Amino acid sequence: MDEFEKTLTGQQAAIEAERCLYCHEAPCQNACPAHVPIPEFILSIRTGNLHGARVLLQSAHPLIETCGRICPEEGFCQSVCTRAKIDKPVCIRELHRFVTDATDPADGLVLPPAVSGTVAVVGGGPAGLACMRELRCLGFTCDLFEQRSVGGVPGQEVSQMRYPRTAEERETRHLTSLFASHVYAERVTDIASLRGRYDAVFVATGLALEVELRIDGTELAGVWHARDLLRKMKSGSLSGTGRRVGVIGGGNVAVEIASMLREEDQTRDVIIVYRRGIKELRAFRKEIDEATALGVTYQFLAVPDRIVGEGCVHGLEVTQARLCEEDESGRCRFEPLPGSHFTIPLDTVVIAVGQRADDGVFPGLGRRSGGFIDVGEDMQTNIAGIFAGGDAVHGAQTVVEAVADGKKAAEFIAAYVAGGRR
């Protein structure tokens, strides 16, 4: 399956690198949660030193293969690019991807002896992998515990047209072979017992559960939860969905599953049903544009009332809405219009209205509203030596934000162990 986007050629990359102004304050670098040294790596491309560019990228960001393809640059580095005042932003992510595709991940890498201590990392997503990589570079021995495949959401739930399996496997193989002492494919249930075997523990288990849609009809055959369907399709299985699919939601997961269903069958009708308007969609603009190019359609200002059918899905009954004043997040609120019910004929409904933390695991860990793990400024939980980060603490994040959290946690863990507080 071809990717949406092609890697820049050497000539294209050289021309694009020439556009960088190498700003003194580097607003692009400051806007990046992982603080990638953007002007420096672009200068290395300009001088033909791709190995040096890769070293600069890897020094700041463990998951450069992933973010070279799926990082929402329009919300971070490129949103503040000074070049936009002249014509348009430098294509920073595309240059980033050019470097990762043209160089070897392990080229010239030297690690220190693993003598600083032992850490268990629970969760093999971006935050956990970033923490593990940073700790190993600081001389720690790290064991990784991951029930599913290593890589987290990008590897398990992102379309191969945006993040192909070859890139995913190259990155996870590099990280686990060099930075993990052992990888345990098991579910951790007793965090206190695990703590007793290591100097510290980092919990980065993400958001394991999906938010339920509280309407009638969710028990009908033909109703799916988005992440279950994403994982099924990313594993190589056919979706098994019908010919007319409605996806309820307006975030990245909703747009991702809609795109994948259209990729699978171009004759299938896929419609995103969202209770607000196009400006209020939470998904990244680039992903919305890609979904639209694939033929995904939208039913905006439609509030789901119930899924209708007898044994299986026949349609989705909705009420038309209008937008009114903004809420605390800055998005317009919606208000159903009385007497405006109508039914969208469907044979499949996919629920993609959000994820939530599993507060039933790890008894004893302090929790806050929403079931998220409660941590202090040093990212330590209420149990000494157990740290937490990523989505399990903050809610849904981008990959680069989770990476930044994992890096920060590694610094706190290293300081904790060095202080002898085992």
CATH assignment, 10-102? 1.10.1060.10
What fold, for 117-208+357-418? FAD/NAD(P)-binding domain (3.50.50)
What are 142's two structure tokens?
A: 């790290």
Of residues 6, 76, 10, 22, the one with CA closest to residue 285: 76
Q: Which of 10-14, 86-90, 154-158, 254-258 bottoms out in mean pLDDT, i.e. has the lowest? A: 154-158
Confidence of residue 294 (pLDDT cuts 50, 70, 90): very high
What are 144's two structure tokens?
A: 């990784």
Q: What is the pLDDT of residues 190-205, one digit of tens each?
A: 898 899 999 999 999 9
- Per-residue confidence (pLDDT) for residue 242, from 0 to 100: 96
- Per-residue confidence (pLDDT) for residue 94, from 0 to 100: 96
pLDDT above 70 (res 421): no
For the entire predicted model, the pTM comes to 0.92
Residues in the chain, how many?
422
Q: What is the pLDDT of residues 37-66, one digit of tens each?
A: 999 999 999 999 999 999 999 989 989 999
- Per-residue confidence (pLDDT) for residue 207, from 0 to 100: 95
Q: In the predicted model, what is the mean pLDDT of the chain?
A: 94
Confidence of residue 90 (pLDDT cuts 50, 70, 90): very high
Instruction: State the CB neighbour count (10 A cutoff) for residue 388.
Output: 29
pLDDT above 80 (res 106): no
**Cα separation of 378 and 416, whole Å?**
9
Confidence of residue 109 (pLDDT cuts 50, 70, 90): confident
Q: Quick check: 42 and 17 in contact, CB under 8 A?
A: yes
CATH assignment, 211-351? 3.50.50.60
- Per-residue confidence (pLDDT) for residue 104, from 0 to 100: 86
**Cα separation of 308 and 344, whole Å?**
10
Exposed/middle/buried for residue 203 (C-beta within 10 Å: 0-12, 13-18, 19+) = buried
Confidence of residue 3 (pLDDT cuts 50, 70, 90): confident
**Cα separation of 411 and 390, whole Å?**
15
Characterize the bridge pairing of strands 269-273 and 244-248: parallel
Characterize the bridge pairing of strands 200-203 and 386-388: parallel
Helix, strand or coil, per DSSP, at residue 139 = coil
In the predicted model, what is the mean pLDDT of residues 245-253?
Answer: 97
Of residues 250, 216, 223, 383, the one with CA closest to residue 312: 223
Of residues 153, 150, 154, the one with CA closest to residue 121: 150
Q: Quick check: 380 and 276 in contact, CB under 8 A?
A: no
Confidence of residue 5 (pLDDT cuts 50, 70, 90): confident
Exposed/middle/buried for residue 181 (C-beta within 10 Å: 0-12, 13-18, 19+) = middle
The more confidently predicted of residues 272 and 279 is 272
- Per-residue confidence (pLDDT) for residue 247, from 0 to 100: 98
**Cα separation of 248 and 353, whole Å?**
7
What are 88's two structure tokens?
A: 């348009």
Q: What is the pLDDT of residues 312-329, one digit of tens each?
A: 999 999 999 999 988 887
In the predicted model, what is the mean pLDDT of residues 163-173?
Answer: 90
CA-only gyration radius of the chain, Å = 23
- Per-residue confidence (pLDDT) for residue 418, from 0 to 100: 93
Confidence of residue 108 (pLDDT cuts 50, 70, 90): low
Beta-carbon contacts of 166 under 8 Å, excluding residues fewer than 6 positions away, are: none
pLDDT above 90 (res 331): no
Domains 117-208+357-418 and 211-351 share a fold: yes
- Per-residue confidence (pLDDT) for residue 189, from 0 to 100: 86
Q: What is the pLDDT of residues 347-399, one digit of tens each?
A: 999 999 999 999 889 999 999 998 999 999 999 999 999 999 999 999 999 99
- Per-residue confidence (pLDDT) for residue 107, from 0 to 100: 66
- Per-residue confidence (pLDDT) for residue 201, from 0 to 100: 98
Instruction: State the CB neighbour count (10 A cutoff) for residue 107.
Output: 11
Helix (H) or strand (E) run with residue 58 in it: helix 50-60
Beta bridge partners of 343: 317
Confidence of residue 161 (pLDDT cuts 50, 70, 90): confident
Domain ranges for the chain, please list them: 10-102, 117-208+357-418, 211-351
